[in-house]
């Protein structure tokens, strides 16, 4: 598991964190997983959720008042 965790760390934020997410999931699913991968995966999820909410906020501001829901 540890090598996949290291690969996830090296992948960084390339490709919208998809490569890092894959590596962390492989780490967790390994026969001998690395406990730190859970925290790393949660950090990526939190980062993605924050970005999603920021984008939604920006899109809402751009809409005309009649199109806002």
Predicted TM-score of the model (pTM) = 0.75
User: What is the full DSSP assignment across 27-43?
Assistant: HHHSSS--THHHHHHHH
Q: Any idea where the domains of the chain sit in the sequence? A: 2-62
From residue 53, give the alpha-carbon distance in Å to each of 13, 50, 56.
Answer: 18, 5, 5
- Residue 8: how many CB atoms within 10 A of its CB? 24
For residues 2-11, average pLDDT: 88
| 64 band by pLDDT with thresholds 50, 70 and 90 | low
For residue 44, the model assigns a pLDDT of 94
- Residue 37: how many CB atoms within 10 A of its CB? 23
């Amino acid at each position: 598991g540890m090598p996949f965790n290291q690969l996830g760390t090296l992948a960084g934020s390339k490709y919208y964190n998809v490569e890092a997410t894959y590596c962390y999931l492989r780490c967790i699913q390994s026969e001998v997983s690395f406990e730190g991968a859970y925290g790393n995966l949660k950090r990526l999820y939190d980062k993605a959720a924050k970005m999603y909410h920021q984008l939604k906020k920006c899109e809402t501001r751009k809409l005309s008042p009649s199109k806002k829901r």
